[in-house]
Structure 1
């Protein structure tokens, strides 16, 4: 790909980070899948929290790159951590992976028949993040209720318990989480009958990462170096 006359061969994939060995492996597999799909593309996996290397350590080591946040909304990590890491470098940052129809389709494809659905997401005080999560919930069957695994707002177990009191017999959790980790594992103890797999387990997510990467070049044609991505 060529951005402003420069051949760009590096994709900096920025994940949140996790202490879970299984979650770390899943993120590595996602980055490897992206690299396999685009021969010659150097995919550098880094993080904004918990794990090393941090995005701030990777950015100075590359000259021509595009940053793709492996995050599900444009919250604090995108607006602050990643933005500060690329400040003054000219390296474009694409939209995060979510919300996107690909992620919605992944959850829908893994949902069994249920009387009620809980969309489980990581908590955040960022109003944009919460609005994105609410928007995803409205597009799940029956208008799913939102539950958070951290922060303020209704917790997933409490939402599940309320649905039981209302008469729901089969409750499914749609996990709006990219990889395995403490947050994802907590869902198995929330009292629901099923939990969808982490989103990065879906092969379509690797294509979504490349779509974000390619979007930077589309927008560069009219002078903008970021992409708004696909909205629901």
Structure 2
């Protein structure tokens, strides 16, 4: 049996926790007869290293850790990477992004927020100093630019520049006198989403989860890494 371990960041926000629980339940529903476990890299447990150790101690079990994270970075390459290191029967899949289906969800959220197609979009990610994470966010922004008629910028909720606040202010300062919208590139509600709502933008979209396309990506990551 190959267990799917869905590994999210972790949040103290109750709505954010419920959103991740719902995503994991949706994954379970999509994998009837398979075991799906939940893990986290930060804030609260069960922590991924502990869940991986439990699986490794069980007879005749293997596992794929699927990062419920939108970009690669420290948590994917260090936290999850260290958890599966030297584990013969536990492997890690890549992060969920970049993937064009994530942009499908972003576009759905934009439509739900009734954002005019003349608006400047700020694609707002959590932020990481890891260049691999930044490259994944840049790739996502390029995918969004291919589908949006107006300008698309990047802003980060924490960690690095440009911040979302700076990106919104800069768009207005540079003569972009149409509406400015923040397109959340976050998985669930929580501290970072609250930062987006305080950015001064005319519109802010909801996070990506829950959404059936997310489940599709998770299942693809699981199967591509050897899950069956």
TM-score, length of structure 1 as denominator length? 0.87
Q: Shift of the alpha carbon at 1:143?
A: 4.6
Alignment of 1:89-104 (within 5 A): 89-90=87-88, 91-104=90-103
Aligned pairs for 1:55-134 within 5 A: 55-62=48-55, 63-90=61-88, 91-111=90-110, 112-113=115-116, 114-134=118-138
- Report runs of 4+ in structure 1 exceeding 2 Å deviation: none
Shift in Å, 1:168: 2.8
Residue 135 (str. 1) matches residue 148 (str. 2): no
How far the C-alpha of 1:67 sits from its partner, in A, is: 0.8
Task: Write the distance in 2 (CA, Å) between the matches of 1:131 and 1:116.
Answer: 21
Report whether the alignment pairs 1:40 with 2:33: yes
The offset of 1:95, in angstroms, is 0.9
Distance apart, 1:175 and its partner CA: 0.8
- The answer to whether residue 199 in structure 2 is matched with residue 190 in structure 1 is yes
Q: Report deviation, 1:133.
A: 1.0
C-alpha distance in structure 2 between counterparts of 1:84 and 1:34, whole Å: 24
How big is the alpha-carbon RMSD for the aligned residues of Structure 1 and Structure 2?
A: 1.6
Residue by residue, what CA displacement relative to the aligned partner does 1:15-61 show, whole Å, maximum 9, x if unpaired? 01011000000000000000011101111111000011100110111
Corresponding residue for 1:144?
152
CA distance in 2, matches of 1:127, 1:147: 15
- Structure 2 unaligned segments of length 5 or more: list them: 56-60
Unpaired segments ≥5 residues, structure 1: 1-6, 221-232
Q: Does the 8 A contact of 2:126 with 2:157 survive in 1?
A: yes
Distance 1:143 1:29 in 2: 33
C-alpha displacement of 1:149: 0.9
Q: For the Cα contact (< 8 Å) 1:11–1:68, is it kept in 2?
A: yes
SS in 2 for 1:14: strand
For this pair of structures, how many residues does the alignment match? 212
Aligned position for 1:164: 172
Partner of 2:221: 212
Query: Aligned partners of 1:168 and 1:15: how far apart in 2?
Result: 38
The separation in 2 between residues aligned to 1:49 and 1:164, in whole angstroms, is 35
CA distance in structure 2 between the aligned counterparts of 1:155 and 1:61, rounded to whole angstroms: 39
